[in-house]
Structure formats: structure tokens, C-alpha cells
Amino acid sequence: MQNQSKSLTKGLQILKEVMISTKPLTANTLCQRLEIDKSTMSRLISTLIHEDFIEYKDNSKEIILSDLMKKIVQKDDRQKIVEKTKALLDEIFYLTNECAYIGILDNNSVLYLNQVDKSNRVLKTRDSIGLHAPLHTNGFGKIFLAFSKNVDFENLELKKFTSNTITSKTKLIKEIDLVRERGYAIGSEEHEFGLKSLAVPYFNKQNKFVGAVGISGLSVRLSEETLHKYGQEIFKLVNAYN
């Protein structure tokens, strides 16, 4: 029983090292870090692979988390973002009386994690939680283009959705520069006619870029002047939030 407990502890130590590492690890590196002999390390790694906790990257000897573990970690991280930004979305809604959102980058597109709309309007913005949107067509996506280091810009498909959609990379780069300069991004009926959006970058307390927060609503309510006004106000609100 004691030996099983020691093996479990060592296995969990290996899993922890793989989870917190920013790059793939080798068995030799893990042996050195955890002071585990090679034969024991080989046995523990084989067990962790068999139980689908870790895997070898591309048939190499580099160890990474399995797809299953990545999904578990990803789900937990996303839930934490939702919890931490609930109060912020409430404040954005009460400031603008428009539907407020938190979005993250997922597969080179915007993924809407949460939204808040406490208005009494008969016609409300549709439930977008879990939906994706192209980066070049809305304020949220432009925030990722401006502030995220994980966007694959070269392979970004600039598909046209409306006559307002930006389909030129040169024009998009100018738009991104403008977003960085003023600290907020506007989407003006670029994905759907009749809808506009406004977003600002959201950083955590460690000043790490997390995602985009902002609003979306009908264009008849959101003039360019109103959007710029909200952009400045939401930018101040988000920066004061942390």
C-alpha cells in the first residue's frame, strides 16, 4: 500500500510538471527535476499514457498533455473567466443598456463565453454563448487581432459577409493599428446588417491578455458617436476593474 501511495505521488508530480510547463518535456528532464530514476520514470510515463493523461508529441520523445487533459484544463480555465467577469459584464450592461459579452480566441475566431442582457426589450440580441464569429468582422475579433499573440494572421480568411466587411489585409492592418492606438474596436455591420459591436481588451491581474469584453446591439441605437463614447467609457471601466 505504501509503495502504491509513493507511485501515485510520483505520477501526480509528473502530471503536474507537464501541466505547468510552457513547452514539451522529455523523460530525462523529468528525471532530473523530480529525482526519479529512469526505470521508474519509464513505468510511470507508460501508465500515464495508458490512462490518457499524457502523450508523446508527433511520435517524438517529447511529452505533452493528452487531448482529454487539454479539454479538461481548457474547460476549467474558461469557467474561471466566466466567473471572474460576471460582475464586469453587469457593469457594462448597466452603463450602456446593451447586451454585454466576454469573448476569447478559439481556432482563429471569437468564441463568446458569456453574455448579459437584463433589458426589458421585446426584441433582444440572440443567445450567442458558445457561438463563434470571424475575427475580421466585429469589434471583439479586432481586439484579438490587435492584442493577442496567438492569432494566425497569415492564414486568416477575409470572407465577405456584407458590403462593410473588410476583405483587404492592408486595410485590416490599418484598422488594427487604430484599435491599438485608441484602446477599443468597433464592428459596424460587417458581419450582419443592422448589428454593431464595440469591444475592449481584458487583461487579468497579472497583466496577461485574456480576451475581449464589450457590447453588441442594433445599429439604430448605436451611432458612430455613441460607439466611440462607449468605447472610452468601457475602456476606463475595464481598466479600473482590475
The C-alpha cell 426589458 sits at 120
Domain that holds residue 192: 73-241
Q: In what order do the strands lie in the sheet with 209-218?
A: 132-134, 109-116, 99-106, 209-218, 195-203, 185-188
Domain containing residue 45: CATH number: 1.10.10.10
Question: CA 218, 168, 178: angle at the middle one, nearest 5?
Answer: 65
Give the domain-ending residue among 13, 45, 65. 65
What does each of the 242 residues of the chain score in pLDDT, given as a tens digit? 556 678 888 889 998 898 888 789 999 999 999 999 999 999 999 999 988 888 999 888 899 988 877 777 777 788 999 999 999 999 999 999 999 999 999 989 999 999 999 988 766 667 788 899 999 999 999 999 999 998 989 889 999 999 999 999 999 999 999 999 999 999 999 999 999 999 999 998 888 899 999 999 999 999 999 999 999 999 999 988 86
Are residues 57 and 80 located together in one domain of the fold? no
pTM: 0.75
| 226: exposed, middle or buried (Cβ count in 10 Å: 0-12, 13-18, 19+) | middle
Are residues 214 and 118 located together in one domain of the fold? yes
Distance CA(129)–CA(162), nearest Å, equals: 23
User: DSSP character for 104?
Assistant: E
Domain containing residue 83: CATH number: 3.30.450.40
Which grid cell sits at 1?
500500500
